[in-house]
Amino acid sequence: MKQETIIIDENESMDNESSTLREMIKKDRVIAFPTETVYGLGGNAYSDEAVKRIFQVKQRPADNPLIVHIHCMEQLNEFTEHIHPDAYRLMKRYWPGPITFIVPIKQGMLSHYVTAGLNTVGVRMPNHDFALQFLRIVDTPIAAPSANMSGRPSPTKFSHIEYDLYGRADVLIRGDDSIVGVESTVVDTTVEPFEIVRPGHITAADIMRETGLEVIYESTTSTTPKSPGMKYRHYAPKQPVYPLKEDFKPEGHVGVIAPAELIKSWNNVVTFELCESVIDVNIAMRNLYKALRFMDAQQVDTVYIYQFPRQERYNALNNRIDKVISSKEEDL
C-alpha cells in the first residue's frame, strides 16, 4: 500500500502550511524540500523513528552518516561542542551556503542513526530562502540526505523527487530547480589541517583565497565514511556508463553527455549538452544529474560521458562522474 503524499508549493503562503510542516516533523514524518545544492529528504534529527523512516523511504543502508541542517548558528549549541575556532570562522564566512562542516557532537542529543556511531556530525545551513523558512518553522535540526531512491542520481528538479518519492515520502515541497546542482562541499574540522572529504562547489583554493586558511583534500578514503556519498554506489542511472573517448564510435542505441563543443552529429545517438564549453564548470554541475535522469528516460542501452580536466575547479564534477562510470560495485 502506497504512502499518502502531500504536495506543497514553496510559493504558497506558509501561513497556511506552517502547522502542517510542524505537525509532520513532530510525528516523525519525512519531508522532501528544495535547497540550492539538491533536494533533501528531511526528518527530526533527534528522533530515531524519523531518521529510520528516512532510510526506509530511500531504501538506503543505515550505516552512512547524515548531514544535519540548521537555520541559525545558535542551534549548534544544542547538539555540538568543542568546535574549533577556525571552524566557526569558516561558518561565519560561508553560511548560509553549499558547505558542510564536520564537528564534534554533544553526546546523547542526536539520534545515533544520524551519526552512524561516530562522535562527529556534518552540519549545514542552506543558502535557499524556502529551505531556511522551513527550518525556522519547524525549529528543529533536520537530518537530510538527498531526496532520491538510494543509488539513483540526486534530484535537482521537483519532477525528480515526484518520480522517486511520490507514494513513499509524507510531504513533497515543490520548488525551483537547484542552482548549484551537486551536493555540498564537506570539510572535516576535527583534524588539522582541515580536510575536504567530499568536494563540492566551494574548493580548497576558494577557502585559501577568501580566508587565508589552508584546507587540504583527504588523501585516503576511510573504511568508516565521515560523510554521505563516500561509501555506496551513488549518482548512477540504470544503464552502464563509460568515459567518452576521442575515438568514440557509437554502436547500438547509446547516449552521450558532454559539453556542446564536443558533441558531433552521430547517427542514432541521444545527446545531452552539459554546457557550451569545457570551461563552463558551474553550468555543467547544475546539469549533471538532469543529464543522467534524461538518459534513463530515453532508455538508451549505454551512456558515454565526458570526463573534465583533472584540475581543482572540476573536482566536484569529476568526483560524481567517476562514481558513475562503468562501476557495478555497491561499495564505492
- Cβ neighbours for 316, distance < 8 A, ≥ 6 positions apart: 182, 185, 199, 200, 201, 203, 285
pTM of this structure: 0.93
Question: Which letter does DSSP use for residue 260 in this model?
Answer: G
Q: What is the CA radius of gyration of the chain?
A: 20
Which residues participate in the annotated binding site for ATP?
Answer: 60, 64, 120, 144, 146, 154, 198, 235
Domain boundaries, the chain: 6-217, 241-324
Which residues participate in the annotated binding site for L-threonine?
Answer: 37, 69, 124, 184
Q: What angle do helix axes 85-94 and 204-211 make, rounded to 10 degrees?
A: 100
* Other beta carbons less than 10 A from residue 132's beta carbon: 18
* CA-to-CA dists, residue 274 to 289, 292, 300, angstroms: 10, 10, 17
- Cα 29 to Cα 21: distance, rounded to the nearest angstrom: 9
Q: Is 161 helix (H, G, I), strand (E, B) or coil?
A: helix
Which residues participate in the annotated binding site?
Answer: 37, 60, 64, 69, 120, 124, 144, 146, 154, 184, 198, 235
> Which architecture characterizes domain 6-217 according to CATH?
Alpha-Beta Complex (3.90)
CATH homologous superfamily of domain 241-324?
Threonylcarbamoyl-AMP synthase, C-terminal domain (3.40.50.11030)
Give the pairing type, strands 171-174 and 142-143. Answer: unpaired
pLDDT by residue, tens only, the chain of 332 residues: 467 899 999 877 677 789 999 999 999 999 999 999 999 999 999 999 999 999 999 998 877 899 999 999 999 999 999 999 999 999 999 999 999 999 999 999 999 999 999 999 999 999 999 999 999 999 999 999 999 998 889 999 999 999 999 999 999 999 999 999 999 999 999 999 999 999 999 999 999 999 999 999 988 655 566 666 555 556 778 889 999 999 999 999 999 999 999 999 888 899 999 999 999 999 999 999 999 999 999 999 999 999 999 999 999 999 999 999 955 433 32
